[in-house]
């Protein structure tokens, strides 16, 4: 596959499950963002051969945020879309279906979403996702203080697919958040930002 994968770093054991799920979907190359705990992840995951993949480690010298850390992947000259998966996410999802849908729709970015109360044991988060009738992302509001559960119909699953053109819009320096800054920027650009309704089992580690 032409896409590169970046898994933001969390607990190595949980990340191993995420990497195994990627391998089960046919992915063979994974890039893991790391910081001062780099050696701990290298000790646990190695070069990825035990998990059936090839792992590249991208080191952050300072916190860059969930979108800022993607600059390293863009600088690496990836040839195609970048699949981003939260490193604390254990999931069972048809990622190839997401990629096919993304390509068919000509999207700049595609984000996996799930219905609130759909039976998925994903931990509830305070984010309001507005989806248009054509499946496009119309808006994303993150407010951890002022939202009631009944206000939330959709939530992000933690799986994203970005075209290189989208990543080039990330500011060159500084901390940059994916949900609070990057996705609203893309929605406001007028380009196609697609949602992918994924109800497969998933949960985040606590």
pLDDT of residue 175: 95
Over residues 10-21, mean pLDDT: 79
Q: State pLDDT tens for residues 118-175.
A: 444 444 456 788 899 999 999 888 766 655 555 567 888 889 999 999 999 999 999 9
Q: Which is more confident, 46 or 144? A: 46
Look at residue 178 in the predicted model and tell me its pLDDT.
94
pLDDT of amino acid 194: 96
Q: Is the full-model pTM beyond 0.75?
A: yes
Tell me the C-alpha distance between 197 and 98, whole Å: 9
The per-residue pLDDT of the chain, averaged, comes to 80
Dihedral sign of CA atoms 69, 126, 157, 103 in order: negative
Exposure string over 99-111, b if 16+ CB within 10 A, otherwise e: bebbeeeebbbbb
Pick from 57, 52, 7, 44: nearest CA to 27:
52
What is the arithmetic mean of pLDDT over 14-35?
A: 85
- What percent of the chain is predicted at pLDDT more than 90? 36
Least confident of 16-25, 46-55, 123-132: 123-132
Handedness of CA 170, 171, 176, 181 (dihedral sign): negative
Q: How confident is the model at residue 90 (pLDDT cuts 50, 70, 90)?
A: low
Three-state DSSP class for 41?
Answer: helix
- The two three-digit tokens of residue 19, written as one number: 């990497």
Measured CA to CA, the distance from residue 129 to residue 111 in angstroms comes to 11
Closest of 33, 39, 37 to residue 8, by C-alpha = 33
Q: Which pLDDT score is estimated for 205? A: 44
- Strands 89-91 and 202-204 come out as antiparallel
């Amino acid at each position: 596959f032409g896409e590169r994968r970046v898994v933001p770093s969390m607990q190595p054991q949980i990340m191993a499950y995420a990497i195994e799920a990627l391998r089960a979907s046919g992915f063979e190359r994974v890039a893991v963002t790391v910081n001062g705990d780099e050696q701990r992840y290298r000790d646990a995951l190695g070069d990825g051969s035990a998990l059936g993949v090839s792992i590249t480690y991208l080191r952050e010298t300072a916190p860059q945020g969930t979108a800022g850390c993607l600059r390293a992947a863009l600088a690496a000259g990836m040839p195609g879309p970048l699949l981003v998966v939260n490193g604390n996410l254990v999931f069972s999802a048809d990622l190839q279906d997401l990629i096919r849908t993304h390509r068919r729709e000509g999207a700049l970015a595609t984000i996996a979403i799930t219905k609130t109360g759909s039976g998925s044991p994903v931990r509830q988060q305070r984010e309001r996702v507005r989806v248009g009738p054509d499946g496009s992302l119309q808006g994303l509001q993150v407010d951890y203080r002022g939202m009631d559960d009944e206000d939330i119909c959709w939530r992000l699953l933690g799986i994203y697919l970005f075209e290189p053109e989208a990543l080039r819009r990330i500011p060159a320096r500084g901390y940059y958040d994916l949900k609070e800054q990057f996705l609203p920027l893309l929605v406001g650009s007028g380009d196609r930002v697609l949602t992918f309704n994924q109800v497969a089992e998933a949960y985040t580690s606590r």
